[in-house]
Amino acid sequence: MSNLGGGKQGSRPGAGFANTTFCADDAMKRKILRKSFGKSSFTRSDQQVIRSFAGPFRASTNQGDFLNRVGQSCGGSHQSNSNSISHKDCGTTTLGISTTEVPLYYGNRVYVSDSSLYTRFKNLDSTLKTYNDLSFGGDAHNGSYSFLRKVR
């Protein structure tokens, strides 16, 4: 778990301003962040961290294989005989990581996402950076309020 914002894991501070609300949209963003973001690296048994070859955008939106494995299959059915299951590449390791640790990707690898999906990713990424923020958008030492007093 990350320690972004310095607060308790998964907590949200009380509203510091009267016009701020926590709505269903914010709750949905936090659920998406918990389920899909933060999976851009994997720690092997020897404590070596392997970063995703797909990049943070494609890894968080599940648009490519984590280790860029192409043409491998493990556990899928044969095209000619649907009763038989293929275990052809189940024992294959890539960078010391087996298919049981990081499953193979099944999907359209050549899908080109549009700009709205990338905009949504950047919005969620900025929300992730303040996920546990104790200061609720300001700083923890009243510095932003002091600056506003000098301006007025």
Q: What is the DSSP string of 28-40?
A: HHHHHHHHHTT-S
Give the helix/strand (H/E) hosting 97. Answer: strand 97-98
d(CA 98, CA 94): 7
pLDDT digits (tens, 9 = 90+) for 57-111: 887 777 877 777 777 777 655 566 556 556 677 777 777 777 777 777 766 767 7
Phi, psi of 61 (to 5 degrees): -100, 10
pTM of the model: 0.58
Q: Tokens 């600056």: give the residue.
A: 147
